[in-house]
Structure 1
């Protein structure tokens, strides 16, 4: 019952989640509407302020290009009667410029070199103008002049708040003349219409409770509706020109606010509108509280209805569970934490498992019984009074005709079908048998019908031919079946096997004969090799002899003893090929031939003095392969490798004998010709008909010294005998032992003996003198 209550509770959660999503969406809609309204007001403000700016730019250009202004700037140091008349006319022009007060309240021109100021209506001395209009702002005269001197090429400036006391507003400063390459001679200051600007900002503020701010390109406050607190704020509005930007996560004075602002493309000014977030949050909260109230009412009613419906629907389920518990072997549900549905699911699963287990057991037993029956049919172990016609249909075997053939399958290799970690040979073999049984029975059933079974470590298929099929056509069908089975199973599953096919038989009683025929045909796998199809009809007449005379055996022995592996290999292959080429030679004769060749291998190994342990292991392995039915091809390969090993051993022994003799001959040649000063490696190599590099490498391997070192050391040893004779000069001794120069002889003597030849002679002479008194005393 608890599951039903939970399901109803989940249903009740749906309207709750929907209302929560609706609340979030409502909040977003309200926020979006307010932000869009703010953006529209800011766009309107931008257009109006841009009009101020446009008018200011146009007024500054008109004043700049007035010829009277240009003349006054040029002659401001020396103001005469003509210049004063020009100034009077210029003031008349200024009055015409200042007719409209919508955008500009006033303007004036400051001439630093003439030290006077021109307003829109009058001429002032600089000090007087300062006292009347500027001094009240708190700036000193020098500060005011410096500010005018830094005006630059068209800049706007203003006071932080429009509600501040004293002089307020935004002014535009421009150095004259405007031309880039002209030096600055005067400063134009245009003051925007403060009343009109304030009225524009107030109109936007009256829409909501927010504040409006105007900032220049460097985020410096020009004007605002907030009053004095606006001076202390840090503005970091960094928008792209013309783009509307909104910030909904800002906090001012501890209160969340929504900031909408845009940037003017003409002046890079920013127009910001800051609105407290509570204005639209209050509306959203009202909607949310109303939704919570409705949800509480709906949840109470829904829970009451859910309890009533759960009780009503649980009654039949309770009866069903009690009925199952009384008849099931499972433990009762009382006191258990398992709910009714889990209990019923467990009971049904248990029943189905027992049902499937019983079916699998019966199916396995049925397959085993059918396999045993087929094996008995193939081996002729069926009793005469056995009710064949009644028993076969029980195993799904329905005979279509009295024509049969037996096909045997011998597995060669199936390792390519399994991974390296799948090493359970018994399971692998069973799985391969299952694959072949299913595929071959299906192929045989396409035109005839066939039943597979395991017998004598092979698979046998009893093919029951379709009635009325001619024998030639039946043979073609069997050929197609065996070839397609080899191709499909080999390509798809990497399973290799050899097939043998019996002759056609006209009765089920002849199945043992057919099985024996297929066995006899499988024996010829030794001749034809693996992965072949062998037909019994083609091996009926067998020839009981083979060709391997004593003369051929002796020729093979001669090749091996001479170390001629190519000749021995060719002789072995000729013997095997000549016998295999005979028509209908029996398998027994081929086995005898291979046994004879193995005997020859034993003789070859003994004649070549091969290691007896290796000899016996090689031949014993070959005999085992013969007994296990190995193919002629594999035996041929084994015997070829054995011949190669024996021939290699004979050849190596010959080379070693030859090398030993060569070393002794070279040493004897050196001892005989060391006095010849022309004796060298090339001369010795030429004498023995070998290459100098080979002779040098060979001598180093055999003796330990290279040939030149050995020759020099031998010459030094021979000179030591002659050094004992004082009447022979050292130069003559060096020539007698074969050195070209005495310096070479002395250097090599010192290298090998550690002293020079003369020092060696003196040392030996002194030793002789010491030895004479000793001999006399004796």
Structure 2
């Protein structure tokens, strides 16, 4: 494909660029030849002014960026929340710190203007940087001690009130020159006591690079001063006396000013400009002797250089433009021949624009292809592992050749299967996250990564989803004995359950197969783990069930007609304690003997549900309500509910029925129970353990019954009444100024001051501190 020369192409642009570059020195030399030393001085001054203006604009960009970054960090709600709760760092605060670190990295990802920032929390005495969390001593030791800053100097400086001011490390003891830092006290509300200090350090390397662009011109020195003429940064090296600047603030419009001084026995010219944004002054110092030297040199060389530069420059410009354009031309031609994008419509763009468009298009397609292949590979690997577990691999299938294609390389022929049944993971997500499928996929992703990583510490494992559960195929090393394999497997699942439960609040039950010595036995191992998972009903949630520990199953259960009749009689008599004791006796006697099968336990639960129904019907309760309760119990049994949860459901049902019977017998005692509960709360509200359960236990009633009864008699539920009563009692204590608010919260029975403040504001409309101030006034 032929690419013609175009007016807007790169060849013409390069020719123009070289011509312009060539034209600049020619013009400068011609003007210098015709002008006197005064004109030379003016030209030098203009050059200094241009560089100073450029430096001012660039440094102002640093300051503007710093102010914006300071505002974004200061107004971050997670930062505000962490400031308020810095004394008590709990799980929620640590999660918030992890999220803040991710956001901080995004704030200053380029590090062009700011090299880093950190927040010092006064009361918590820790530091949060843009990349990590530090204790104060460790932060000072790693980041400030090498610069000569002590902990006391640094802390004393940051504990002061700061309003976005700039300073250097020398102002609080540092030995390093040039490090400029902006400090801002937090929170930003007017009149607030500083609880934390934000420190943002300008990028010293970029700053000095900007200064060096001016310093390289005419052997000058560059200085940056603040509004009080304090030195912030300079291009001058050490080894001289302390520079003193007596530069007045500029009045009126912003412009370049000059003055002279004697430094180190030599006259210098100071050109400076003041920033209209922060009153900083940018000073450029040049020896006065350079003016006359340059004037004489330019006078002698102007005529000669003018002619030579014009001729040689033109020849070199043409040759270089043609030489530089040749590779670009070949590249564009080759790309155009292989690309779907035509070069014909390049009239409004140049060759680089065309190459950029081609590369963008190719990279987008490459990224999309990689994502598609990665997703397909994960799906195919999961499908292969599932087929292995369920024994759906055809005879002759080259499994040993296929597994390495999915990153699976067997250590040995020793395997075990671990099944994970998710019980609850609601504590890991916010309440406003409603997409159940996305939450489930995210939890599966977390568990798969963690379990595979734990398995890889000694052996290796691969996770896959099967039958609404997660299965891990654990492959042991060839030199592992059966005893060591079992011990390693035990450590693996216990660590997985502990770490995932504590860190992510994900609860699950685990079942483990026996160890098998062939990959062909994987389906058998999976069935063993599945059979062991059935015993979740007996052993409860979050248990670890080993198949090799299951005993011989008993094919029957003990539930005679005499037991059934005793249970019904207790219900009819309204004897809740007797009924629950009989219920526990029936269930415990069947679980305590020989190992009963899961199917027999289900039959027992069905049988007892029928008994519950008979007993309730004899009390003349509403039939529709009974049917609904019984139907819900049957559904839970069918969905794999545990014996413990079924026992709890039956206990609640017995309490409901017995309460119904007892209600008819004890209707005349309700008023006395209400008065007793109110009196008990009045006498014991200071006890932090006082709640609906302890009150119900004291009066020998069920908590759910007491809750409903209290709501009917008083109008508020018991918890709200108790919180209101504690808040009301605290108002008297708040009028005593010598008692701290934290002590007040403990004296009226609250566990934490944050709970007390939240409830006080809920019921009184203001915080305790505002209420105390209003009373004191």
TM-score category, normalised to shorter length: 0.3 to 0.5
TM-score (norm 1): 0.47
Structure with greater Cα Rg? 1
TM-score (norm 2): 0.47
Q: Whose relative contact order is higher, 1 or 2, with alpha carbons under 8 Å and at least 6 apart?
A: 2
